[in-house]
Amino acid sequence: MRQIWALGDYHAFANATVWPLGQRLVEACGVAPGQHVLDVAAGTGNVALRAAQAGGNVVACDLTPEHFEAGRHAAAALGVALEWIEADAQSLPFPDRGFDIVTSCVGAIFAADHAAVANEMLRVCRPGGVIGMINFKPQGLAAEFFELLGRYAPAPKPGASTPLQWGDRAYVQALFDDRVESLDMEDGEYVEYSAGGPDAYRALFETTFGPVIAIRASWAAEPERLAAFDRSFREFTLRGNRGAPGDPAAYPYAYLLVLGRKRAS
């Protein structure tokens, strides 16, 4: 997984797609000056940079440290300081109860062991602290996109968890169970725009998004299979475009905002 996510240019991809969600999550979690914040599967700092701007003492951790150089440059440009640490969301290298707020924005959902992720986020959060997540919902364009990738990627192990399960309310409730004193969930939507239309939107994924780059590389020796993937992806970008004629292409994605407060005892 680390090798896949290191492909392409994730910072360029995130800035063109999911970047607005970072500020949304920081505001929802109520990050305030002096709070200790851990952002899990931070990428290049979508959430972590905004939390630092809000005055938090921030640690950004990710399985793919290749992302950190772009994050450090972004932090320097914003005039904020934060710590970058390589870490697996399923086994965080941090002490118990060390953070006031623990976040993840469409990041930790890609770890294979969902229960381990929930356990670790709870473990490193202090009693009474906040756990905040933004997760793709298993409906709409996100479901279509992941189904498309699944048809061409290596088959997962039988019974393997999928990222979109994190967008199901009952599933999230079961993961955190009675270890939180409150668990608020809110549906939301954001839109990814492409000024160059559907073809430019597809090109963005093909040149910057690691999983798509990996799939296309895996079929390089089978031109017919690669051409089939490209046709399917092009059909997805044409079918999913909600932009009006003459306007930028627009792709709305549904997400679930999760805010949990760890039990004080």
pLDDT given for residue 156 in this prediction? 80
User: In 10 A of CB 165, how many CB atoms?
Assistant: 16
217's tokens: 């590389």
pLDDT given for residue 138 in this prediction? 96
> Where do the CATH 3.40.50.150 domains begin and end in the chain?
2-192+252-262
pLDDT given for residue 136 in this prediction? 98
pLDDT given for residue 157 in this prediction? 80
Q: For 43-105, where are the alpha helices, taking DSSP H only?
A: 48-53, 68-78
Task: List the beta strands (DSSP E) in 41-160.
Answer: 57-62, 83-86, 99-105, 125-136
Place of tokens 């999983």: 211
Measured over the CA atoms of residue 26, residue 94, residue 18 and residue 252, the dihedral's sign is negative
Q: What is the pTM of this model?
A: 0.96
Per-10-residue mean pLDDT for the chain, 265 residues long? 94 97 98 98 98 98 98 98 98 98 98 97 98 97 96 85 96 97 98 97 98 97 97 98 96 98 92
pLDDT given for residue 39 in this prediction? 98
**According to the CATH classification, is domain 2-192+252-262 in 3.40.50.720?**
no
Say which residues have a Cβ less than 8 Å from residue 78's Cβ, sequence separation at least 6: 49, 52, 53
Say which residues have a Cβ less than 8 Å from residue 224's Cβ, sequence separation at least 6: none
132's tokens: 């905040």
Q: Could you tell me how far CA 25 lies from the centroid of its own chain?
A: 12
